[in-house]
Structure 1
Amino acid sequence: MAEAPALSAPAEIARRHDPDRFLCALFAPAEKRETVFTLIAFNHELARAREAAREPLMALIRLQWWREAVEEAVAGKPARRHEVAEPLSREIRAGALDPAALLRMVEVREEAETGEEAVPLIDRLRGTAGAMAAETGRLLGVPEEGLDGLRRIGTAYGLAGTLRSLAVLAAQERDPLPPGREPAEAARELAREGLMLLEEGRRSLSFLPRQAVAAALPAVLAQRDLRRVLRPDWQPGAPPAPRALGDRLAVTWAGWRGRV
């Protein structure tokens, strides 16, 4: 039996570090899949700027490195020698990825590092996870009028991921919940807001091209995660559980149907 072809570096990074989006990306058209993997890998590199650097200054330096990598690709300069920077440069120079959207993703994280408390959680997620969903949709052929719906879906997915990771964030001395509230109730209020964003996003996607379903598939996981937060037995301090088979099957079924 022939061995399966090895994954590219961006695809392997996506599979290892962002398995949710990796699974969703498998439903993108084959000719667009590597671009989606590269976008996921770029987003991971931005996210790990905070994880890999305890001091905000070091995180800002890492983010500036990626800002310059994008700007250099736009200027036609040689790509930086890095397993993500090189394919990222190729995709930008080919016109597959929008550099303005990528730079905005960097900017939002820079703003968080210079004063996280001044950036409301929903606004930050709109500029990160929301921007990810919108840019994925754009490169998969979603018209401009559909991108705001994807941005709402992506924001809800980012919010669900934040609530799943509260224990991990607490270990990093980070608390994204609004102050002055009992943690479980504050989290449930955010979960309800996330479900509203999902519903708004779905309503605005009255027609989603089938080839773009990968951009909207995180909605399936977001809905399941947010509903778990609303269960009476849910606790904010519990470590995130591994993805259950039911989650993966739900994404697969929605992907095959071409609807979320």
Structure 2
Amino acid sequence: MSGSGASTNLRTAFSHCVQQVRSYDYHHYLCLLELPPNMRKAAFALRAFNVETSRAMDIASDPRIGLMRLVWWQEAIDKIFANKLIEHPTARALSAVVSEFKFSKAWLKRSVEARINDASREVTEMPETIDELEKYAEDTASTILYTTLQSGGIRSTAADHVASHIGKASGLLLLLKSLPYHASKSRHSLYIPRKVAAKHGLLVEMGGQSEVRLDSREKLCDAVFEMASVANIHLQKARELAGTVPVEAIPVLLPAVPAQVMLDTLSQVQFDVFDPRIPRGVLGISPFWYQLKLKWSSWRGRY
């Protein structure tokens, strides 16, 4: 392929990534616009990869097809790091930033493997504790932040610690926000750990199997509050470390803002995840206010 043809193809691949993130992960799309221009390319490719893998099970007509898609991505990462060409716009963009920024293969692999393990769960299986969900959030959300930091050449243990906390908070809150969606699909029971469900009277034993029942809105709100409190602790810890983080890492850590917005929205609706206000605007607030919060944090060098 000629040089100009290859660069046109690559431009198309990156525009595809931006479009995917804008369509399916709008609150993070707005965060990425606050990054310095030299980091945006890698960040959009990484977020688009995250969109592809996070939606694989949701858009598949059959869980087996979704699982095959995830396995395809697992193999695609090996090919990308072996410099093999893959005819897929997100994979092409990812391949370009991998060769340019030399970031860690292990984090991308861990992200897909966590999703494969989750997708392979039997419908009757459920996480035992919040710790398991924190680990899932770390593997899927924190890893994207680690890799984005790496693409900016930011080597900082403090920034990695903060990214870990923000990723865990974001991942847990996303699972809570998605509860109504998961409840509407029989596949993938629910992301309420057995211990939390049992403690709040949501667990029903039927024919030797446990099942989470959402009949009581009040009990569900209590369970959501308990899980949201864990996310809140992670955000507090992330902010306590703010003084130790290099200034160039701050824009990468802006996803703490949508996590806080989501927490505030949950608090406003008394932790009722079925409240119709949550899906409105951007995580329950108007796009204008959301962008204002983001710009204000970015301008002040906060997250």
Fold match (TM-score > 0.5): yes
Residue 110 of structure 2 is aligned with which of 104, 113, 117?
A: 104
1:212 is aligned to 2:252:
no
Alignment of 1:10-159 (within 5 A): 10-78=17-85, 80-115=86-121, 117-118=126-127, 120-140=132-152, 141-159=154-172
Distance in structure 1 (CA, Å) of the matches to 2:23 and 2:247 = 26
1:241 is aligned to 2:280:
yes
Partner SS, residue 259 of structure 1: coil
Distance in structure 1 (CA, Å) of the matches to 2:113 and 2:72 = 12
Structure 2: state its 5+ residue gaps: 1-10, 201-218
Partner residue, 1:161: 174
Partner residue, 2:7: none
Distance in structure 1 (CA, Å) of the matches to 2:79 and 2:232 = 39
Distance in structure 2 (CA, Å) of the matches to 1:90 and 1:154 = 25
How far off its partner does 1:151 sit? 1.2
Moved more, 144-153 or 190-199: 144-153
Q: TM-score, normalised by structure 2?
A: 0.77
Partner residue, 2:259: 222
Aligned length: 255
Moved more, 116-125 or 32-41: 116-125
Deviations 1:178-237 (A, max 9, x none): 323221100011111111011112223433333322321111121121133234644222
CA contact (8 A) 1:142 1:212 kept: no
Letter in 2 for 1:155: K
CA contact (8 A) 1:191 1:227 kept: no
Q: 1:232 to 1:38 in 2, by over 3 A?
A: closer
How far off its partner does 1:40 sit? 0.4
How far off its partner does 1:118 sit? 4.4
1:177 is aligned to 2:214:
no
Partner SS, residue 230 of structure 1: helix
Letter in 2 for 1:150: A
Q: TM-score, normalised by structure 1?
A: 0.89
Distance in structure 2 (CA, Å) of the matches to 1:108 and 1:18 = 19
Partner residue, 2:207: none
Partner residue, 1:188: 225
Partner SS, residue 117 of structure 1: coil
CA contact (8 A) 1:142 1:209 kept: no
